[in-house]
Amino acid sequence: EAFINLPITDKIRINIVTSSIDPRDQQQWEYFKGKSHHLITFNQKPIDRNKIVEITQVA
C-alpha cells in the first residue's frame, strides 16, 4: 500500500525479485520465478507471476 501511494509522476520500470533468488543467476530465476508463495498485488489486483519479466536495465 505504501508503494502504491508514492508520489510517482512518470512511468517507471520495476525489477521484482524475491529475496531467495540471486537475480544474476538466470537459470535459478527461471526455475523459481513461478514457484514463490508470495502473492504480488498492484492496485488491489493480483499479478500473474508467469507474466512478470525480469527487467535488468531501465532506459
* DSSP strands (E only) in the chain: 41-42, 45-46
Q: How much is the pLDDT for 41?
A: 54
Domain that holds residue 11: 1-59
Q: How much is the pLDDT for 57?
A: 46
* Number of domain units in the chain: 1
Q: Is the pTM of this model over 0.85?
A: no
| pLDDT of the chain, 59 residues: tens digit per residue | 566 676 666 665 555 654 444 556 666 666 666 665 555 555 556 666 555 555 444 44
**Distance of alpha carbon 40 from alpha carbon 59, whole angstroms:** 24
Output the CA angle 59-21-44, nearest 5 degrees.
70
**Distance of alpha carbon 21 from alpha carbon 7, whole angstroms:** 29
